[in-house]
């Protein structure tokens, strides 16, 4: 589980300022029809082809957003692409390009940078995304990655966070909590490894939630799924910071409240058994943990029949007229008001602000 990062050690200085960026990006082909000029000039050039341009930036910092003790560098490269394009998908747009800036200390050999770029390359290939720019600089502290994702959409396709109306259905794709509980397992194993490096733990029973944490996927399929169902969400957001925070964003921007049905939240069995093992309520993990990269959206209640039996989606609540008031309904009676994690909690956890 723990990579040995000491096997190959070519110092970055061997390539020189010109060489290293050419070396790292030599396998990146241009795939997107929107890309006119990718890496290699002062700026990239894109042809928007009469569409609107969507842009989003995320920054990931070592020991805040990832721990290299249990995050393979290739997976980190893959995940930074996912984190970027998920924001574009959440606008119902098509992600096409990314720019990635990396701050790296000279304790990293070229082979470590190669691994990060391999992960970026695999993600670009899988999602037909072009790496069109970025920056590689030295950092005298930890590893830092910034991703700017670029998407394109026709104006009438774009879905904002505002737009939810009272009585709209609240819907989520996939299932939630996997990434959070996968992280709990990795952190526990990391502690165990530190006290006994010869441990070879069998983690196969956690395979799904570990994959959700280490190699998440972005829901590029949802846009077409919704189109085929003739569904246009009234509001949408991606679940990167935990369900609580995302519902509060929709509530805030749409000026509605929400009623969330706890028992309707889709949870994989591995999440339930792992939550039990850790003595954590799975709902707490889902509300406050992040990185599931699923989509949360609202639909007029008149669309119920189109979506209620679709296995890709779960109706988990509805919008209300009580502005900015979000309540969790537990069973038939219990109602708990939902609050976002404060900044204090955030500062000590892997959480980003939109």
Interface residues for its own copies in 111-140 (CB under 8 A)?
132-140
Q: Degrees (nearest 5) of the Cα angle 42, 43, 47? A: 150
Contact residue for its own copies among 23, 28, 58, 285 (CB under 8 A): 58
Asked if 57 is part of the footprint of its own copies (rule: CB under 8 A), the reply reads yes
Q: Which is nearer to its own copies, 268 or 291 (CB)?
A: 291
Q: Is 254 annotated as a binding residue?
A: no
Q: Is 117 annotated as a binding residue?
A: yes
Output the smallest distance, CB 46 to its own copies, in A: 4
Q: Residue 43: CB partners within 8 Å, gap ≥ 6? A: 133
Contacts 24+ apart (CB under 8 A), 28-37: 28/121, 28/124, 28/130, 28/131, 30/130, 31/124, 31/125, 31/128, 31/129, 31/130, 32/96, 32/97, 32/128, 32/129, 32/130, 34/96, 34/97, 34/150, 34/152, 35/96, 35/97, 35/130, 35/132, 37/132
Alpha-carbon span 3 to 31, nearest angstrom: 32
Residues composing the chain = 354
Contact residue for its own copies among 6, 43, 202, 331 (CB under 8 A): 43
Contact residue for its own copies among 5, 10, 30, 53 (CB under 8 A): 53
Backbone angles phi, psi at 173, to 5 degrees: -90, 160
Asked if 151 is part of the footprint of its own copies (rule: CB under 8 A), the reply reads yes
Which of these segments, 88-96, 111-119, 165-173, 264-272, binds its own copies (CB under 8 A)? 88-96
Q: Which is nearer to its own copies, 161 or 268 (CB)?
A: 161
Q: Degrees (nearest 5) of the Cα angle 45, 50, 52? A: 80
Where do the H-state alpha helices sit in 176-330? 178-195, 207-214, 222-228, 243-254, 269-278, 282-288, 304-307
Contact residue for its own copies among 73, 81, 82, 88 (CB under 8 A): 88
| Residues between 208 and 227 with contacts to its own copies, criterion CB under 8 A | none
Assigned token pair, 22: 């050419």
Asked if 13 is part of the footprint of its own copies (rule: CB under 8 A), the reply reads yes
Q: Which is nearer to its own copies, 106 or 207 (CB)?
A: 106
Q: Residue 73: CB partners within 8 Å, gap ≥ 6? A: 3, 5, 112, 115, 116, 119
Asked if 71 is part of the footprint of its own copies (rule: CB under 8 A), the reply reads no
Output the smallest distance, CB 100 to its own copies, in A: 8
| Residues between 89 and 108 with contacts to its own copies, criterion CB under 8 A | 90-91, 93, 97, 99-103, 106
Q: Degrees (nearest 5) of the Cα angle 220, 221, 227? A: 115
| Residues between 227 and 256 with contacts to its own copies, criterion CB under 8 A | 236-238, 245, 248, 252-253
Q: Is 16 annotated as a binding residue?
A: no
Q: Is 241 annotated as a binding residue?
A: yes
Output the smallest distance, CB 133 to its own copies, in A: 6
Asked if 55 is part of the footprint of its own copies (rule: CB under 8 A), the reply reads yes
Is residue 72 helix, strand or coil? coil
Output the smallest distance, CB 20 to its own copies, in A: 6
Asked if 337 is part of the footprint of its own copies (rule: CB under 8 A), the reply reads no
Residue positions forming the annotated binding site for ATP: 117, 134-135, 161, 240
Residue positions forming the annotated binding site: 42, 56-58, 65, 87, 117, 134-135, 161, 238, 240-241, 291, 343
């Amino acid at each position: 589980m723990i990579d040995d990062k000491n096997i190959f050690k070519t110092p970055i200085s061997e390539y020189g300022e010109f060489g290293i960026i050419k070396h790292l990006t030599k396998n990146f082909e241009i795939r997107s029809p929107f890309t006119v000029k990718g890496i290699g000039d002062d700026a990239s050039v894109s042809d928007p082809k009469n569409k609107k341009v969507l842009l989003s930036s995320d920054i990931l910092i070592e020991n805040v957003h990832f721990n290299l003790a249990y995050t393979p560098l290739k997976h980190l490269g893959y995940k930074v692409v996912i984190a970027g394009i998920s924001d574009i998908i959440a606008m119902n747009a098509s992600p096409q390009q990314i720019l990635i800036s990396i701050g790296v200390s000279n304790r990293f050999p070229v082979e470590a940078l190669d691994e990060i770029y391999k992960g970026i390359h695999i993600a670009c290939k899988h999602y037909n995304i072009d790496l069109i720019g970025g920056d590689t600089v030295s950092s005298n502290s930890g590893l830092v990655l910034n991703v700017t994702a670029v998407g394109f959409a026709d104006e009438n396709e774009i879905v904002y966070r505002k737009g939810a109306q009272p009585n709209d259905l609240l819907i989520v794709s996939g299932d939630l909590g996997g990434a959070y509980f996968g992280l709990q397992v990795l952190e526990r194993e990391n502690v165990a490894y530190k006290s006994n490096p010869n441990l070879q733990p069998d983690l196969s029973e956690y395979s799904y939630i570990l994959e959700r944490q280490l190699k998440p996927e972005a829901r590029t399929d949802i846009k077409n799924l919704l189109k085929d169902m003739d569904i246009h969400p009234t509001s949408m957001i991606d679940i990167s910071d935990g369900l609580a925070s995302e519902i509060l964003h929709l509530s805030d921007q749409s000026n509605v409240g929400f009623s969330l049905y706890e028992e309707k939240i889709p949870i994989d069995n591995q999440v339930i058994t792992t939550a039990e093992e850790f003595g954590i309520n799975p709902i707490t993990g889902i509300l406050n943990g992040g990185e599931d990269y699923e989509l949360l959206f609202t639909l007029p209640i008149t669309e119920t029949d189109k979506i209620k039996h679709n296995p890709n989606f779960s109706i988990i609540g509805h919008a209300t007229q009580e502005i900015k008031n979000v309540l969790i309904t537990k069973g038939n009676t219990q109602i708990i008001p939902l609050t976002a994690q404060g900044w204090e909690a955030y500062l000590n956890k892997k959480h980003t602000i939109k």
